[in-house]
A and B are shown apart, each in its own frame.
Chain A
Amino acid sequence: MARRSHYVALSLVLLLVVLVLSLPDQATVKFKLALSSLFLPLFGLAGSAQGLAEQAGNAAVPRRVLLEEAARLKLENQRLRLQAAEGEAAQRENARLRALLGWQSQNPLRLKAARVVGRDTANWWRSVRIDRGTRDGLKPDLPVLTAEGLVGRVGQVGFATAEVILVGDPKCRVSVVVRETGENGVLSARSSGVLDHRWVDLTHLPRNTALKPGQTVATSGLGGVFPPGIAVGTVVDSRSVGYGLYTEARVRLTVDSSRLSEVMVMLP
């Protein structure tokens, strides 16, 4: 009798798994989002608790430290104001030259700040969950970045949360350019560097490349997902592969995804 119940349970679970795995993509996404939304209250609670802990920590900071911090921020503010003034002048000049050449003017970036509320539950993917969704205008494939550089792209989007596939995940390939040499390549996951999430492979480089350690890598704009010019990482070393037919390089990402707490989503 017990064996019969085991067979019935096994059949039912197998049937359910086959059914779920064979669902159309859209239905799977909806099902996943519905399930993940069950965790929203817990993520909210955890965020509030973290905020309270930070407030409590801030209250305990001595006045001397705060004054030093204020003085440092004042200096930084002055430096940034100067830089902003220079940037505005360059932007005006850029707009004037574009108008002279008849080029289309670039729209200013529209960024939406988001907080990282969760990470992938599996070891073999690199993704995080952020507290922004369709209600904030997010859509799949929007670029996600921080002040340091590119973080990844938006994956599935729910009403209040969204999944971000990080650079270094097999599902997030980025078309990049080496700034110093102008060579184009593709950043892909580095399987031999599973433990070090900041190392990725730069592939599809020409045979006679002039890559050197320390050169910077930025998005190329090819592929249509990421706009050009976003910093991605720096070249660590390169080697020839395929009996000298191609070159591959190791790149260290500028953004440390394990310590992400806030990110910016680039809206269209």
Chain B
Amino acid sequence: MNWLRTSIILLAAFLAVFAQAEFGWVRVWLGAQISLLPALMVYAAVSTDIVTISLLAVWGGLCADALSVNRLGVSVLPLFVIGLGLHRWRELLLRELTYAQLALGALASAAAPALTLLLLMSAGEHPLIGWSSFWQWMVMTGAGAALTPVCFWTLDRLPGFFAYQPEVSAAFRADREIKRGRS
């Protein structure tokens, strides 16, 4: 397990939740609040291990619920289910390709709010949903899809800033040189 990468992902989740709460203009412009947590979960699911996925689901979900009227813990399970599902099939996913990242981001960003709402309503809550929620769901899906490649690009490069660069060795090795002719 790469603790540096895990820490960076958890810090990113914390900052993403803060940005969601702080920058209300996104909601004013688009009519919907977008979430970066599903995109982060896609990255964690295809790039890290199950421990990081679990930590991200618990930490990100609890942070998001702490700044919301949501019941505490209700966002954890949807994030984890998405992460676990993608992690199980990660060998089949073409993580380097942008369109694959877009598709996975859209899938995760569509599933996360739907599962959370399902859980909320199962717990007897009455969230504010109607036909217009469909627009919010579409915005969340689209924004999540667009943000996933950004997540991949950023988080793939960030750990490199905190570690020594691997030494690039030349193919030529003096000790394995075949010397021909008479010496």
Using a CB–CB cutoff of 8 Å, the interface residues on chain B facing chain A are: 14-15, 17-18, 20-22, 24, 27-28, 31-33, 35, 50-51, 53-54, 57-58, 62-74, 76-77, 80, 84, 87-88, 113, 116-117, 120, 123, 126-133, 135-136, 140
Q: Are B69 and A163 touching (Cβ within 8 A)? A: yes
Q: Are B130 and A122 touching (Cβ within 8 A)? A: no
A2 to B17, CA, bound (A): 30
CB-CB < 8 A to A191: which residues of B? 128-130
Q: Return the CB mask of A160-195 against B: 1 if under 8 Å, else 0.
A: 000101001111000000000000000001111111
Q: What is the CB-to-nearest-CB distance from B11 to chain A, in angstroms, rounded to a whole number?
A: 12
Is A121 an interface position by the 8 A CB rule?
A: yes
Count, chain A residues at interface, CB 8 A: 53
CB-CB < 8 A to A194: which residues of B? 128-133, 136
Q: Are B140 and A123 touching (Cβ within 8 A)? A: yes
CB-CB < 8 A to A16: which residues of B? 58, 73, 76
Q: What is the CB-to-nearest-CB distance from B131 to chain A, in angstroms, rounded to a whole number?
A: 6
Of chain A, the residue at the smallest CB distance from B127 is A124
Using a CB–CB cutoff of 8 Å, the interface residues on chain A facing chain B are: 2, 5-6, 9-10, 12-14, 16-17, 20-21, 23, 28, 31-33, 35-36, 38-39, 42-43, 46, 117-127, 129, 155, 163, 165, 168-171, 189-196, 258-259
Q: Are A13 and B77 touching (Cβ within 8 A)? A: yes
Of chain A, the residue at the smallest CB distance from B75 is A122
CB-CB < 8 A to A259: which residues of B? 28
Q: What is the CB-to-nearest-CB distance from B31 to chain A, in angstroms, rounded to a whole number?
A: 5
A42 to B64, CA, bound (A): 15
Q: Which of A28, A118, A193 has the most CB of B within 10 A?
A: A118
